[in-house]
């Protein structure tokens, strides 16, 4: 089978290529170039997609004896990921650029693109996730063996039609096992540190990154009672649930509970204001019909605990998802991932919490 491998220059994608080569597939290594930044590694920081990462991917491809292509997708990445990221923050939302990138650039879109231009039957990536073929629901994504590395949440926006084109060889391995395989085969990236940040931020916070693009946008910080507590330099520096760095005092802990772009106001309140048992998404991207789920749960952040879903209802505004218990910190712009047990069956971008 002709399989393209998304090679980021890290150990995960490198071992992915190695495993498929050992299985006898006809491989094509593909690396995407998103920016011209220098190597992005310090003692404190490690982000991907630098020119050094492109070189590492090429070194691994040479060692494995497979062809390697580099696509300059800087313009596409800027248009599909970076610009929407900035717009979302300016509109008082907290986007998840990695989930959007998996749909629009790196995973789903890349699989379709390579099928057309290179005849690749599959795209393999180093995601820690499993793919299963359900006899009734078809191809679905499932949580991996290594739950500490679970990346299924970031795949919730990938379109159903793209799942048949994907391969995740690391789903049955732990990170430690992956590194050991790399060492045994003397891959040059065996001990390379993992990426830890959103690649295009280059170690900056979202607020710092956006400030460089749009400048200071001063506004008020108000308590939910209406009292003015202070000023801010831009609502893009805040996210729902944030407590530190507010620069205000109220005599007791307060958190960001809402961002209002129309008035450029950051609303803060006590922790109780962070809880809600329902949310709205404009539309759901489904990998399987919701009615087939036996144990439907929703996850509102990458590291948050999935919560049992009570009801999913279509309305004129969009889709309302109700939980069986209150959830803390439902954040507009983040991804709601829906699971049936440990099987991902879809997701959508959160529009707002409902109270």
What is the set of active-site residues? 101, 199
Largest interatomic CA distance in the chain: 67
Tell which residue, 177, 165, 147, 34, has the closest CA to residue 98: 34
CB atoms within 10 A of CB 38: 10
Alpha-carbon span 64 to 57, nearest angstrom: 11
Q: How many distinct helices (H) and strands (E) make up the chain? A: 9, 18
Q: Which two tokens stand for residue 348?
A: 């959508």
Residues forming a β-bridge with 354: 278
- Measured on CA atoms in the order 93, 94, 96, 97, is the torsion positive or negative? positive
Q: Where are the alpha helices (DSSP H) in 224-331?
A: none
* Burial (0-12, 13-18, 19+ Cβ within 10 Å), 160: middle
Q: 């180093």: which residue's tokens?
A: 126
Tell me how many degrees the CA angle 100-105-111 measures, rounded to the nearest 5.
Answer: 120
Q: Which two tokens stand for residue 183?
A: 């060492």
Alpha-carbon span 259 to 106, nearest angstrom: 30
Tell which residue, 192, 210, 190, has the closest CA to residue 200: 210
Tell which residue, 212, 253, 260, 213, has the closest CA to residue 235: 260
Q: 């679970």: which residue's tokens?
A: 150
Calculate Rg over the CA atoms of the chain: 21
- In this structure, what are the phi and psi dihedrals at residue 174, rounded to the nearest 5 degrees? -95, 165
């Amino acid at each position: 089978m002709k399989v393209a491998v998304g090679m980021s220059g890290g150990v995960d994608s490198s071992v992915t290529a190695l495993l498929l080569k050992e299985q006898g597939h006809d491989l094509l290594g593909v690396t995407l170039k998103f920016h011209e930044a220098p190597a992005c590694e310090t003692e404190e920081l490690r982000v991907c997609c630098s020119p050094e990462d492109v070189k590492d991917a090429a070194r691994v491809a040479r060692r494995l004896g497979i062809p390697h292509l580099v696509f300059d997708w800087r313009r596409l990445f800027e248009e599909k990921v970076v610009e929407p990221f900035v717009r979302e923050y300016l509109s008082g939302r907290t986007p998840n650029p990695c989930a959007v990138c998996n749909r629009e650039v790196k995973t789903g879109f890349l699989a379709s693109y390579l099928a057309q231009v290179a005849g690749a039957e599959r795209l393999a990536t180093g995601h820690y996730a499993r793919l299963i073929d359900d006899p009734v629901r078809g191809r679905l994504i499932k949580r991996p063996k290594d739950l500490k590395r679970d990346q299924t949440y970031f795949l919730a926006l990938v379109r159903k039609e793209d799942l048949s084109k994907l391969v995740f060889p690391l789903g049955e391995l732990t990170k430690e096992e992956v590194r050991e395989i790399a060492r045994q085969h003397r891959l040059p990236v065996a001990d390379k540190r993992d990426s830890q940040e959103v690649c295009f931020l280059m170690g900056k916070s979202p607020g710092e990154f956006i400030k460089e693009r749009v400048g200071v946008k001063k506004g008020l910080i108000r308590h939910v009672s209406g009292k003015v507590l202070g000023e801010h330099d831009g609502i893009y520096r805040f996210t729902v649930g944030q407590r530190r760095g507010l620069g205000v005092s109220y005599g007791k802990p307060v958190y960001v509970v809402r961002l209002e772009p129309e008035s450029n106001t950051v609303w803060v309140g006590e922790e109780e204001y962070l809880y809600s048992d329902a949310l709205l998404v404009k539309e759901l991207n489904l990998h399987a019909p919701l009615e087939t789920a036996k144990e439907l749960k929703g996850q509102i952040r990458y590291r948050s605990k999935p919560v049992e879903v009570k009801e999913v209802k279509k309305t004129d505004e969009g889709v309302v998802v109700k939980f069986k218990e209150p959830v803390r910190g439902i954040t507009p712009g983040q991804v709601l991932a829906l699971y049936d047990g440990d099987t991902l069956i879809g997701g959508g971008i959160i529009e707002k919490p409902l109270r």
